[in-house]
Structure 1
Amino acid sequence: MKNTLIPAPRRAPSAQTLRPLLKAVLALVCFTTGMSSLVVPAHAADPTTFQSVRKAGELRCGAALAPPFVVRDAKTGSYTGAFSDLCRRFGEDVLKVKVKFVDTTWDNMIAGLQTDKWDLAMAINRTPVREQVINFSTAVVRNDTNFVYSHSDVKVPKQIKSVADIDKPDLIVAVVQGTTDDKAISPVLKQAQILRLPDADSTRLALMSHRADFLADQSDANLIFQAAHPDWAEIYRPDPPFNLQDVAFGMNKSYTSADLNELNQFIQQQTKSGFVKSSVEAAVKQAAQSVKQ
Structure 2
Amino acid sequence: MVIFKKLIAAFAVIFSLGLAANSAQAQEASTWDSIQSRGELRVGVTQAPPWFYKDPATQEWTGLGSSVGKAMAEQLGVKFKPVEVTWGTAVAALQANKIDIMFVLDATPARAMAIDFPAQPLLYYALAVLADDDLAIKTWDDLNKKDIKIAVTQGTTMDRYVSARLDKATILRFPSNGEAVAAFQSKRVNAVSLFHPPLIAMRKKIGRGQIVLPSPVRQSASSAGVRREADKTFRDWVNTAIAYYYQTGQTQVWYEEFLDSFGVDPSTVPAIRRENW
TM-score by length of 2: 0.76
1:141 aligns to 2:123 (yes or no): yes
Aligned to 2:209: 233
Supply the AA of the counterpart residue of 2:229: S
SS at structure 2 position matched to 1:68: coil
Residues in 2 aligned to 1:79 and 1:284: alpha-carbon distance in whole angstroms: 14
- Would you say 1:283 and 2:265 are equivalent positions? no
SS at match of 1:136: coil
Give the alignment of 1:77-156 within 5 angstroms: 77-91=59-73, 93-137=74-118, 138-152=120-134
Q: 1:72: Cα distance to partner?
A: 1.5
- The answer to whether the 8 Å contact 2:139/2:216 transfers is no
SS at match of 1:50: helix
Question: Could you tell me whether the CA contact under 8 Å between 1:149 and 1:215 is conserved in 2?
Answer: yes
1:31 corresponding residue in structure 2: none
Q: 5+ residue gaps in structure 1?
A: 1-47, 153-157
Query: How far apart, in 2, do the equivalents of 1:83 and 1:261 lie?
Result: 18
**From 231, 237, 242, the counterpart of 1:256:** 231
Structure 2: which 5+ residue stretches go unaligned? 1-29, 266-277
Which residue does the alignment assign to 1:71? Answer: 53
Selected match of 1:183 from 150, 156, 160? 160
SS at match of 1:144: strand
Contact kept in structure 2, 1:135 and 1:250, CA below 8 Å = yes
Amino acid at match of 1:131: A
Identity %, equivalent residues: 26
* Root mean square deviation of aligned Cα: 2.4
Partners of 1:214 and 1:97 in 2: how far apart? 45
Cα distance change, pair 255–281 in 1 and its aligned pair in 2 (3 A): farther
Contact 1:224 1:288 in 2 (8 A): no
Find the counterpart in structure 1 of residue 20 from structure 2. none
The CA deviation at 1:255 is: 5.9
Question: What does residue 39 of structure 2 align with?
Answer: 57
Deviation at 1:166, TM superposition (A): 1.2
The alpha-carbon deviation at position 168 of structure 1 amounts to 2.5
Asked if the contact 1:49–1:262 (Cα under 8 Å) also holds between the matched residues in 2, the reply is no
CA deviation string 1:200-252 (max 9, x = no partner): 3322221121111111011112234445566x41123122212x221221111
Counterpart contact for 2:185–2:206, Cα < 8 Å: no
The C-alpha deviation readout for 1:7-35, integer Å capped at 9, x for no partner, is: xxxxxxxxxxxxxxxxxxxxxxxxxxxxx
The letter for the 2-side match of 1:253 is R
Q: Does 1:266 align with 2:241?
A: yes
